[in-house]
Structure 1
Amino acid sequence: MSLISSCSNEYLLEQIQKYQCDNLSDKELLTVVFSLLLTNPADVGKCVKNFSLRYQSLSQQKKCCLKDYQLLMNGNNQSAALQLQAVIALGTRINSEPHFICGQICSSHDAGVRMVAELGGLNQEFLIGLFLDTKNQIVKQETLFIGTLNSATVHPRDIFAVALKYGAAKIILVHNHPSGHVTPSKNDIIFSKRVEKCGILMGIELLDHIISGNTKYLSMKEEGVL
């Protein structure tokens, strides 16, 4: 089943109803979106092709601005570019909502997979704190720092201040590498061990420090760093 060659909005919507969006490929979903934004069927195929040439994955849309969307729309449809930007922004906001709810038990694997989905493709480093209770249930997810991670710019007291605020007993730290590589740097290791030692003194355990790439993650706990 392929929607790429189909240009009727009614047909596309019928196919979505029949097969559901989860069963459509990226190109088919893009075809649906462009078909709803563009009035000329011939432009739909061009825009899908432009996307395939410009971007290797959907996650790269996180870096786009209005000018990028206008180029994607062949530079002559500002209205469609604005609408596409709104669609992408809505999807990004939905994806950035806290993934963990109170009562949900979290493991390193669960945290790693979910945070790759949230942080993959970003071109800036984010340090995220997942704060857990004594039963390993998430009570709060919070962005702690944006920028290059090292012990000089991020102090453990800022992390544990949040933990105390929400009554957390344990912490999982997550930060992304925009390069996509998940090998911990020397600074990553030094910082992690520093937070771990402070946690021992405060009675708030650092369960793990996870590094997120674009498609995979690394758990310092599983690798024996912590």
Structure 2
Amino acid sequence: MLADDAGLVREGIARLLTADGVHVVAQFPDATGLLAAVGVERPDVAILDVRMPPTRTTEGLAAAVELKRAYPDLGVLVLSQYVETRHAVDLLAQGRTGVGYLLKERVARSTDLVDALHRIAAGGTVVDAEVVEAVFATPRRADPLDRLTAKEREVLALVAQGYSNDRIAERLMVTARTVETHTSRIFSKLGLETDPATHRRVLAVLAHLRASAGPTAESVPTRTTAGHGPA
């Protein structure tokens, strides 16, 4: 299901997804209609913009948080042109898994979006690199990541973007074993013990985002950056 108040954008996204084999169950110009329909149609993933009627502030993000609270297994993707760090934290903290936050102007290809949807539907977390950068730049109240080295913070930023250990190893030009060592140290320093009932990669990202949700965090429009799609 797809909710975006810009009709042309909404229809364009729907057509691109359909062309790539994604079944778009329904489209809505606001979050209210989508919220009412999810319980009936039970889609795999709901895509929402951030700013929609009536106030055009954060209705989409509020709806996303509500959806994850009511339907934990539902994948929720926020697709916006704004970075909302505090609201991103709310969404991820409520959803744990099966959530994403991507920026419209940085999704270079429809296949990137489809790949993100599949990962979110499977319970993964996909966060745009620019959202991660904005979070790192946000003044912090108490940062549990101060214990991490610069390299560990770099690895964590890539984990937040949804990269696997093998992909992280390729980007950093190190071995997969080295990445495993870094992630193991990150989990240990953040106090994330091995537990089959939790997803430590997601919890590590949440730990960073929660610490980053300081009182001065704001919504800012994104910069157009050609050729940079979702991780």
- Larger Rg over CA atoms: 1
TM-score w.r.t. the length of structure 2 is: 0.25
TM-score with structure 1 setting the length = 0.25
Specify which structure has the bigger relative contact order, considering alpha-carbon pairs within 8 angstroms and separated by 6 or more residues: 2
